[in-house]
């Protein structure tokens, strides 16, 4: 085969692109698999704790509830600052532990809302998440421009939520829910595009594994927040 033949160069480039596309497909599938398994872990823990009085009474009828509520946030900060120094195996184990802790925190929804409305809201959230993540993966539009705007909205939602813990305003909670859903739906598309663009074929296996775990964490958080905020509209109270 003559390497100076233009067809040879085109074929090599096409073959290289095909390999890259296949590697990217496997990477994204790994990210979604981690996220999906994480949601299963969260759901199982939440269901067991939320339907077992011997477990939820000591947690949610004592000051321990604040530890359970704040523990996921501590995990997120720990992940953000230590992900680079962790091994891939440690990052994966920490992700599963985080999903279990989040399940403890979400167990309270089974004490407030009916099981039917929880299931319905889950499927609505899954549909919204899936459609938006697919858009983020397939769009040719650069979504980086909206990233800073979405992050500002996220911080605003967090601050307003903390303030409303003390105010207990239903009007403010409604506004937080509406704005929060818009923000996390936007972040789903943005994060998906970022995960796709951060992939590089020349990363070693360790780096790709950690990148997949951190990507799964980002998408997992978006989904959980969409689900929780939607419950304020579609959830039927016990």
Residue 207 DSSP SS3: helix
By the 8 A CB rule, do 100 and 45 touch?
yes
Indicate the pLDDT class of residue 4, thresholds 50, 70 and 90: very low
pLDDT digits (tens, 9 = 90+) for 26-74: 999 999 999 999 999 999 999 999 888 888 888 887 777 777 777 787 7
- 3-class secondary-structure state, position 199: coil
Whether the CB-CB separation of 106 and 224 falls below 8 Å is answered with yes
How crowded is residue 54: how many other Cβ atoms within 10 Å of its Cβ? 7
pLDDT tens digits along 98-127:
999 999 989 888 888 888 899 999 999 999
Instruction: Copy the structure tokens of residue 95.
Output: 């992700």
Name 191's Cβ contacts closer than 8 Å, sequence gap at least 6: 136, 215, 218, 219, 222
Distance separating alpha carbons of residues 54 and 48, to the nearest angstrom:
10
Query: If pLDDT is split at 50, 70 and 90, which confidence band does 87 have?
Result: confident
Residue 90 above 60 pLDDT? yes
Q: What is the pLDDT of residue 37?
A: 95
- Write out the H or E segment, with its range, that includes residue 235: none
pLDDT at 38: 95
**3-class secondary structure for 23-54?**
HHHHHHHHHHHHHHHHHHHHHHHHHHHHCCHH
Mean pLDDT, the chain, integer: 84
* C-alpha span between 157 and 228 (Å, rounded): 13
Averaged pLDDT for residues 205-211: 84
Query: Is the model's pLDDT at 182 over the cut of 80?
Result: yes
CA distance 175 to 14: 50
């Amino acid at each position: 085969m003559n390497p100076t033949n233009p067809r040879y160069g085109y074929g090599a480039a096409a073959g290289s692109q095909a390999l890259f596309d296949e590697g990217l497909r496997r990477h994204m599938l790994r990210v979604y698999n981690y996220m999906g398994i994480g949601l299963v872990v969260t759901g199982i823990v939440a269901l067991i704790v939320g339907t077992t009085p011997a477990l939820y009474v000591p947690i949610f009828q004592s000051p321990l509830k604040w530890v359970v509520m704040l523990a996921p946030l501590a995990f997120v900060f720990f992940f953000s600052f230590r992900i680079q120094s962790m091994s891939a195996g440690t990052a994966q184990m920490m992700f599963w532990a985080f999903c279990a802790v989040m399940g403890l925190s979400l167990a309270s929804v089974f004490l407030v809302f009916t099981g039917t409305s929880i299931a319905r809201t889950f499927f609505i959230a899954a549909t919204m998440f899936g459609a938006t993540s697919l858009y983020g993966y397939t769009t040719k539009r650069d979504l980086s421009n909206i990233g800073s705007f979405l992050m500002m909205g996220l911080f605003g939602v967090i601050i307003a939520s903390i303030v409303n813990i003390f105010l207990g305003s239903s009007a403010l909670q409604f506004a937080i829910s509406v704005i929060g859903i818009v923000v996390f739906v936007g972040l789903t598309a943005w994060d998906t595009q970022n995960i796709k663009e951060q992939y590089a074929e020349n990363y070693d296996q360790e780096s790709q594994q950690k990148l997949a775990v951190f990507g799964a964490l980002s998408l997992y958080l978006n989904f959980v927040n969409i689900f929780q905020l939607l419950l304020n509209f579609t959830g039927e109270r016990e």
